[in-house]
């Protein structure tokens, strides 16, 4: 298949993206978190193409993206009041609500589960498309299974060219990490995946306790340990180890000052957490192309605000 390269600057291209979705084909679309691989959520055959293009197992559920709050009840039932509190505070934005699925919501999207993840994305182009079409869009991150999520159209093209109908180029993604997922199907509510909105921010607007991924052991299909991986092996190391003289040729992502030598390709990372998150996947992608034996990443600070970054780095490192 020839993948069309469309520009989000061009309204005709946005219309074309919408037409492709309506015809049951896949389009990679920018969101404020990462690029999503979109299909019409109400068309099971279209949604099946997502699993085929990514090489993703059929029991790994997808997130449904909506443009209007009224659509929530098309896809979910038994919606607690707190869902609306979160939506009011953070939508459109990078938080996904896990709810019981509506009886007629198709099970291809949910991977056969009784629950469904739903969010309203904040990217203006995606919002325009959702508003104009009235459609709900199923979209995982637009990367092959277990690989790094794409934060630019070029990342998508590099891994999915020829496998999808189109890529809509909307530049770099604002956050660079996937949305926070909060499970509202049981109390206390719990964050299943850390992301740009923290458990504390959610607890603050709800006025109730919200468990974090470290305070429970989540059994989520698709939430496998090894994930978000470049092809080159990733190792998390201390600043001291970074300054050691490695035997191998290593790309080093570091924010502290380090002594470099011939075996080290130094890649300086920002100290600000939002900027670090924004740059992380792109930098790992770039580092992957350097032909190094390993990518070493200086372990970020062990404070609460870095929890989503730690989660992704631990998965990038994991061999499980």
Interface with ligand TXA (CB under 6 A): 31, 33-34, 36, 60-63, 94, 96, 98, 110, 113, 115-117, 121, 139-141, 178-179, 181, 220-223
Q: Was 228 annotated as part of a binding site?
A: yes
Of 94, 106, 101, nearest to 116 by C-alpha is 101
Residue 63's binding partner out of Mg ion, ligand TXA, none, with CB under 5 to 8 Å set by partner kind = ligand TXA
Residue 43's binding partner out of Mg ion, ligand TXA, none, with CB under 5 to 8 Å set by partner kind = none
Provide the minimum distance between the beta carbon of 5 and ligand TXA in the complex, in angstroms, as a whole number: 19
For residues 121 and 68, the answer to whether their CB atoms sit within 8 Å is: no
Q: Was 65 annotated as part of a binding site?
A: yes
Q: Was 193 annotated as part of a binding site?
A: yes
Residue 71 or 141 with smaller CB distance to ligand TXA: 141
Residue 97 or 267 with smaller CB distance to ligand TXA: 97
- Show the tokens assigned to 95: 């938080």
Q: Looking at residues 87 to 146 of the shown chain, list those that interact with Mg ion (rule: CB under 5 A).
A: 141
| Residue 82 in the binding site for Mg ion (CB under 5 A) | no
Provide the minimum distance between the beta carbon of 141 and ligand TXA in the complex, in angstroms, as a whole number: 4
In angstroms, the CA 320 to CA 315 distance is 9
Provide the minimum distance between the beta carbon of 224 and Mg ion in the complex, in angstroms, as a whole number: 10
Q: Was 315 annotated as part of a binding site?
A: no
Residue 220's binding partner out of ligand TXA, Mg ion, none, with CB under 5 to 8 Å set by partner kind = ligand TXA
Q: Was 133 annotated as part of a binding site?
A: no
In angstroms, the CA 23 to CA 46 distance is 9
Burial class (CB in 10 A: 0-12, 13-18, 19+), 182: buried
Q: Was 76 annotated as part of a binding site?
A: no
Q: Was 159 annotated as part of a binding site?
A: no
In angstroms, the CA 123 to CA 87 distance is 16
Provide the minimum distance between the beta carbon of 190 and ligand TXA in the complex, in angstroms, as a whole number: 11
Q: What three-state secondary structure class fits 158? A: helix
In angstroms, the CA 36 to CA 55 distance is 15
Provide the minimum distance between the beta carbon of 101 and ligand TXA in the complex, in angstroms, as a whole number: 7
Provide the minimum distance between the beta carbon of 140 and Mg ion in the complex, in angstroms, as a whole number: 5
Residue 229's binding partner out of Mg ion, ligand TXA, none, with CB under 5 to 8 Å set by partner kind = none
Chain-centroid distance of CA 153 in Å reads 14
In angstroms, the CA 315 to CA 281 distance is 12
Helices 124-133 and 11-22 cross at an angle (nearest 10°) of 50
Residue 28's binding partner out of ligand TXA, Mg ion, none, with CB under 5 to 8 Å set by partner kind = none
Residue 93 or 140 with smaller CB distance to Mg ion: 140
**Count of CB atoms situated within 10 Å of the CB of 84:** 14
Residue 116's binding partner out of ligand TXA, Mg ion, none, with CB under 5 to 8 Å set by partner kind = ligand TXA
SS3 per residue for 64-119:
EECCCHHHHHHHEECCCHHHHHHHHHHCCCCEEEEEEECCCCCCCCCCCCCEEEEE
Q: What three-state secondary structure class fits 238? A: coil
Residue 33's binding partner out of Mg ion, ligand TXA, none, with CB under 5 to 8 Å set by partner kind = ligand TXA
Provide the minimum distance between the beta carbon of 246 and ligand TXA in the complex, in angstroms, as a whole number: 32
CA dihedral (96, 100, 103, 108) in degrees, to 10, reads: 50
Footprint on this chain of Mg ion (rule: CB under 5 A):
141
Annotated binding site for L-threonine: 33, 65, 119, 139, 179
Annotated binding site: 33, 56, 65, 115, 119, 139, 141, 149, 179, 193, 228
């Amino acid at each position: 298949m020839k993948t069309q390269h469309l520009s989000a600057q061009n309204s005709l291209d946005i219309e074309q993206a919408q037409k492709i979705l309506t015809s049951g084909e896949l389009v990679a679309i920018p969101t404020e978190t990462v690029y999503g691989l979109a299909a019409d959520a109400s068309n099971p055959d279209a949604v099946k193409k997502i699993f085929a293009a990514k090489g993703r197992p059929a029991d790994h559920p997808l997130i449904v993206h909506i443009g209007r709050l009224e659509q929530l009840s098309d896809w979910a039932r038994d919606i607690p009041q707190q869902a609306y509190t979160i939506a009011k505070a953070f939508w459109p934005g990078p938080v996904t609500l896990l709810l019981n699925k509506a009886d007629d919501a198709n099970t291809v999207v949910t991977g056969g589960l009784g629950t469904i993840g739903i969010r309203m994305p904040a990217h203006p182009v995606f919002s325009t498309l959702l508003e104009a079409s009235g459609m709900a869009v199923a979209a995982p991150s637009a990367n092959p299974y277990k690989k790094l999520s794409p934060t630019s159209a070029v990342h998508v093209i590099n891994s999915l060219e020829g496998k999808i109908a189109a890529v809509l180029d909307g530049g770099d993604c604002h956050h660079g990490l996937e949305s926070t997922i909060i499970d509202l199907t049981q109390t206390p509510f719990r964050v299943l995946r850390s992301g740009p909105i923290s458990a504390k921010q959610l607890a603050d607007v709800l006025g109730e306790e919200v468990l974090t991924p470290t305070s429970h052991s989540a059994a989520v299909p698709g939430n496998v340990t090894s994930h978000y991986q470049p092809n080159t092996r990733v190792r998390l190391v201390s600043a001291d180890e970074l300054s050691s003289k490695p035997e191998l040729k290593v790309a080093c992502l570091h924010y502290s000052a380090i002594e470099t030598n011939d075996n080290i390709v130094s890649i300086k990372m920002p100290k600000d957490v939002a900027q670090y998150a924004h740059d992380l996947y792109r930098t790992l992608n770039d580092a992957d192309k350097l032909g190094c034996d390993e990518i070493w990443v200086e372990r970020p600070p062990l404070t609460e605000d870095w929890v989503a970054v730690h989660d992704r780095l631990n998965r990038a490192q994991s061999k499980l």
